[in-house]
A = this chain, B = another copy of it.
Amino acid sequence: MIIVMQSGTPTDQIQAVEERLAELGYQVNPIYGVEKTVIGAVGGMEHEKIDAIDSLRSYPGVEDVLLITKPYKFVSREYQKSKTTIDVRGVVIGGDEVVMMAGPCTVESREQLFTTAEAVSKAGARILRGGAYKPSTSPYSFQGMGEPGLALLKEAAEKYDMRVITEVMDPRKVELVSSYADILQIGTRNMQNYDLLKEVGQTKVPVMLKRGMSAKIEEWLLAAEYVMSGGNPNVMLCERGIRTFEPSVRNMLDLAAIPLLHKLTHLPVIVDPSQGTGRRDLVETMSVAAVAAGADGLIVEVHPNPDHAIKDGSQSQTIPQYEAMVTKLARVATAVDRRLA
């Protein structure tokens, strides 16, 4: 950690900072420049002292406090050099295969779900997605089928040899949802719902943590650190677009996050091109680009009849569109030394 003092700071204020640093267990190395004094503080586990460090910012004479180590530990590449692979009952996420997760935005009916599951499993999808509890911006939107939806997901997945991913929003429902799902999705609105993160951190169920709508990469990794430090190492991250000023897309997919995350963390990175654009006509191209950029998996909304979807029809692919896309994805995956199922 480096503490930058304002120019002209009196000696006693500099000493006060030095004393506080010593109290906190740091070795103190001041550098007295012409314009400014800076104090190097060596020896700490900065992430464990983050509150005390923050309070230094308001000491008299302190201009800035610069951290030089990462604020997270378990999720970092320094902590674990090799990439994490998560085995979801035989489906491995984080390996050579780009794992396809597909299904409807929302479970609406047995027919809708089974038709979709059959089609996408034939096209190589390994994991069935579908919402039973839906986070809707409006209270007047459909809130999901609830537990009957979970049961349908499990049944459809079993029939077509798939695994289930579905969202959990309420810490009180983690146990229930886990009894049906293979992967718990934490949605973008709940990325910093810490009680929920702690709850899923106490299970061993694989967790897919979506990026908050305006989350910095570091905040996202700290959210993952909540889960991992709670004891659950089975975490994957999902880029789903961020909020910007551009009105022609619902979200702006940040594909540079993929290589960036691969440098910073050992956790697998999934991409959601459906939410990440909000437009069916962009899903294929952005899926292709995501695979080219190194995504470990994609999660895609597919609906047998999107025009009559209860929710998010405008960003769901039809079944033929999904099938056509998979062919293209396979070619690009090969070109970057990955493969599809």
CB-CB < 8 A to A332: which residues of B?
292, 332, 335-336
| Cβ–Cβ contact B136 & A194, under 8 A | yes
Given known contacts A189-B193, A190-B193, A313 and B277 CB-to-CB distance under 8 angstroms: no
**Which A residues from 104 to 161 make CB contacts under 8 A with B?**
135-143
CB-CB < 8 A to A7: which residues of B?
78
Q: A309's closest neighbor in chain B, by CB?
A: B55
**Which A residues from 36 to 55 make CB contacts under 8 A with B?**
36, 38, 40, 42-43, 47-48, 50-51, 54-55
CB-CB < 8 A to A36: which residues of B?
68-69
CB-CB < 8 A to A286: which residues of B?
255-256, 259, 293
Tell me how many residues of A have a C-beta within 8 Å of chain B: 111
Given known contacts A38-B68, A50-B141, A307-B58, A256 and B259 CB-to-CB distance under 8 angstroms: no
CB-CB < 8 A to A64: which residues of B?
68
Whole-angstrom distance between the alpha carbons of A199 and B186 in the complex? 19
Shortest CB-to-CB span from A332 to chain B, Å, is 5
Whole-angstrom distance between the alpha carbons of A71 and B253 in the complex? 26
Partner of A247, one of B38, B216, B331: B216
**Which A residues from 18 to 67 make CB contacts under 8 A with B?**
27, 29, 31-36, 38, 40, 42-43, 47-48, 50-51, 54-55, 57-60, 63-64, 66
11 contacts between A and B (CB under 8 A): A32-B42, A47-B138, A48-B140, A57-B313, A58-B309, A135-B192, A139-B194, A216-B247, A217-B248, A255-B289, A289-B289
Given A27-B33, A137-B192, 17 extra CB contacts under 8 A: A2-B66, A50-B138, A54-B311, A54-B313, A57-B314, A58-B306, A58-B309, A59-B307, A136-B194, A138-B225, A139-B222, A170-B171, A242-B246, A244-B244, A244-B252, A259-B281, A331-B335
Top 5 A-B residue pairs of the complex, sorted by shortest distance between their CB atoms: A214-B214, A292-B292, A33-B42, A55-B313, A189-B192
